[in-house]
A and B are shown apart, each in its own frame.
Chain A
Amino acid sequence: MPETTITEATATTAVGIQQLSMQQALNRALDEILNENPKTVIFGEDCGQLGGVFRITDGLQAKHGEARVFDTPLAESGILGMSVGLAMAGFHPIPEVQFDGFAYPAINQIVCQIARMNYRSRGTLPMPITLRVPSFGGIRAPEHHGESLEALFAHVPGLKVVSPSNPHDAYHLLKYAASRPDPVIFMEPKSRYWQKGPVDVGSADQDTAAHDGGTDDAGSLTGARVAREGRHLTLVAWGAMVSRCLQVAELAAEDGIDIEVLDLRWLKPIDAEALATSVGKTRRAVVVHEAPLTSGLGAEVAQLITQSCFATLKAPVERVTGFDVPYPSGDLEDEYIPNIDRILFGIQRVLEYRRG
């Protein structure tokens, strides 16, 4: 149990470093976005009165009113279709799709309308929509509650895709995404909602400065982040897999292997320069994701690394991923999501590789 409830975290206006869960950090960010931008509206299934199944919108309806934070019917195509209309009318919608797998009924609205309206209208109808999607697995939930859709969204021209791995990034990336004129798919790693971490809660001025090309302590908001420095091998990950890769790096250090962990954060566009810099140094790379292997984002990452580091790579880029099966029920989750041993095996395969 956290010492402060999410609502209490929302009520505070203190700035500076605070220990917050990702739930609290996102809730605080949404509250500030509502304060700072009168065009912002937040809606989705259970987002209003209940405050969301994960409590991310807790207390926001009571504070900002039913016109700005409200519940919708259980109809994802309607939630996203309404977002299109609101954006055309000048609003900045932050809709929520309650779980990753619930986005499928809204794919038509996301792909055919949200991603293209700006292009189709020659820039006269921008879509400043931030679609929040509690994503990935790890909470023993039933079907449609543990899926990883990043490759699906990243493949669609016109969409940006981002996933924070910690409370600090969640707070800042959500505020940044909401300030953008383009649609952003904001994938929240639901298994990391409850873990606390330091969040540098800034004033509106500081955030604006960061948006205008400045950097915060974690580096530029628009790029990847080196979560741990190392010299022998780079683990590339995003979302919930970042913390697991950091655990793996600690274990590998016991064996004398010094691992760098690169938290991609942005999955579209991918920070190719950060990949080149990291793997240019370590010369070995393993990419880890929960999504199935085939046509997963790991393939894109591997190609970007090969493109920039082919001459110096010690081994082909290895992928440690979920399997090419539908996401399993909760009881089989631990077999599906890359675990520590599977990641260590991937690292060992790269370390053992010899040319010719």
Chain B
Amino acid sequence: MAEISFPLPDLGEGLIEATVLEWLVEPGQQVERNQAIVELETSKSALELPSPQAGKVVRIHGAPGETINVGEPLIVFEVPDDTAGIVGTVPKDEAPKRRVRLSAVLDED
């Protein structure tokens, strides 16, 4: 297992900090990529931050009401060694689905 720390990203327009309104995930929870993980408030707006990756939440930083600077740790994920660092998502092996059926008269000449 490898730990990956995700710092508070630059939320745009020169904002240097954000205040935690509510955590939408908790340590121990498995999250998917793009799942909303935290609600933040900046001096411009309130927003939900999507998860940058899939993984198990190990730690979260900042209780509701606390302010975090851009670049400081926000959340730490735990991921299997063979997926750590991957860009994208490990595809799932799913049972093949079909809608098209074949029909043919095969002359065996």
Which chain A residues have a beta carbon within 8 Å of chain B's beta carbons?
A: 1-2, 5-7, 21, 23, 46, 50, 52-55, 58, 99, 138-142, 145, 191, 194-195, 232, 247-248, 250-252, 255-257, 330, 340-341, 344-345, 347-348, 351-352
Verify B104–A257 contact, CB threshold 8 A.
yes
Query: Footprint of A on B, CB under 8 Å?
Result: 33, 80-82, 84-91, 93, 96-104, 106
Question: Distance (Å) between the CB of B52 and the closest chain A CB?
Answer: 12
A347 and B87 contact, CB distance less than 8 A: no
B84 A55 Cβ-Cβ under 8 A: yes
Known: A5-B82, A139-B88, A340-B96. 17 other contacts (CB 8 A): A1-B80, A2-B82, A5-B81, A46-B85, A50-B85, A53-B85, A54-B86, A58-B81, A139-B86, A139-B90, A139-B91, A140-B91, A141-B89, A142-B87, A232-B106, A251-B96, A251-B98
Asked whether B82 lies within 8 Å of A53 as measured between CB atoms, the reply is: no
Residue of B nearest to A346 (CB): B100
Q: Check B82 against A255 for contact (C-beta < 8 Å).
A: no
The interface residues of chain A lying within 8 Å CB-to-CB of B86 are 53-54, 139
- Are B102 and A141 interface neighbours, CB within 8 A? no
A23 touches B100 (CB 8 A): no
Q: Given A348-B103, A351-B104, check contact A340 B98 (CB 8 Å).
A: yes
Chain B facing A: main interface SS = loop
Question: What's the least CB distance linking A261 to chain B, in Å?
Answer: 14
Q: In whole angstroms, how far apart are the Cα atoms of A141 and B53 in the complex? A: 11
Give bound CA distance, A247 to B96, whole Å: 7
Do the beta carbons of A138 and B91 come within 8 Å of each other? yes
8 nearest A-B pairs in the assembled complex, by CB-CB distance: A141-B88, A139-B88, A351-B104, A344-B100, A255-B102, A247-B96, A140-B89, A341-B100
- Least Cβ–Cβ distance between A97 and chain B, in angstroms: 14
Given contacts A46-B85, A194-B90, contact A351 B102 (CB under 8 A): yes
Q: Return chain A residues, CB-CB under 8 Å to B93.
A: 195
Residue of B nearest to A342 (CB): B100
